[in-house]
Amino acid sequence: MSELAANVIATFTERTVTLATAESLTGGLIGATLTQVPGASAVYLGGAVAYASRLKTDLLGVPAEALAAHTAVSQEVALAMAVGLQERTDADWAVAVTGVAGPSGQDGHEPGEVYVCVVGPRIASLPQQQLVEHYAFTGDRAAIRAQTVDAALAMLLRVVAPV
């Protein structure tokens, strides 16, 4: 079990807030990592795996114009994925990941180029945060996907429970 995932579940449980995930290149790996933690069901609502661009639009509400103008591997699409998921699930926090796991590039983006976005909280009394970070991971497909999961979980902890 991932220590990062256990910390995310413990932090969200302590704060009594919920989480949802929107995943592209990780194909559900963030959700799978979170649900390995006992008690995850108290805070993790679930997620959407939108691997194809059409599903980013259909499931998450990513504007087709954003995909056409910026490609699926962009901060604009990562943000739209997270916001769209949060609107559809009413999760307090949402995290979205999009990028290229490899082995080859996609739409002019090299393997390892990844965007992670965290939005929240969806609580009326608190200001909404929208943070997108860009990463250039290295390694093979599995390594890039694993680094993306770790980056998303670490980002959630940094934003939700700053030290």
Q: What is the pLDDT of residue 79?
A: 98
What is the CA 159 to chain-centroid distance, rounded? Answer: 13
Taken in order 81, 13, 43, 11, the sign of the CA dihedral is positive
Helix axis angle for 141-160 and 3-15, nearest 10°, is 30
Q: What is the pLDDT of residue 163?
A: 62
Residue 33 burial class via C-beta count within 10 angstroms: exposed 0-12, middle 13-18, buried 19 and up: buried
Which residues face 134 on adjacent strands? 115
User: In order of start, what are the domains of the chain with their CATH numbers?
Assistant: 3-160 (3.90.950.20)
Q: What is the pLDDT of residue 29?
A: 98
C-alpha 103/C-alpha 6 separation (Å) is 30
Q: What is the pLDDT of residue 123?
A: 78
CA contacts within 13 A on the Cβ side of 126: 12
pLDDT tens, N- to C-terminus, the chain (163 residues): 799 999 999 999 999 999 999 999 999 999 999 999 999 999 999 999 999 999 999 999 999 999 999 999 999 999 999 999 999 999 999 999 999 999 999 999 999 999 999 999 987 777 889 999 999 999 999 999 999 999 999 999 999 987 6
CB 58 within 8 Å of CB 49: no
Residue 77 burial class via C-beta count within 10 angstroms: exposed 0-12, middle 13-18, buried 19 and up: buried
Q: Does the reported pTM lie above 0.85?
A: yes
Hey, what's the torsion of the CAs at 142, 146, 148, 152, to 10 degrees?
160
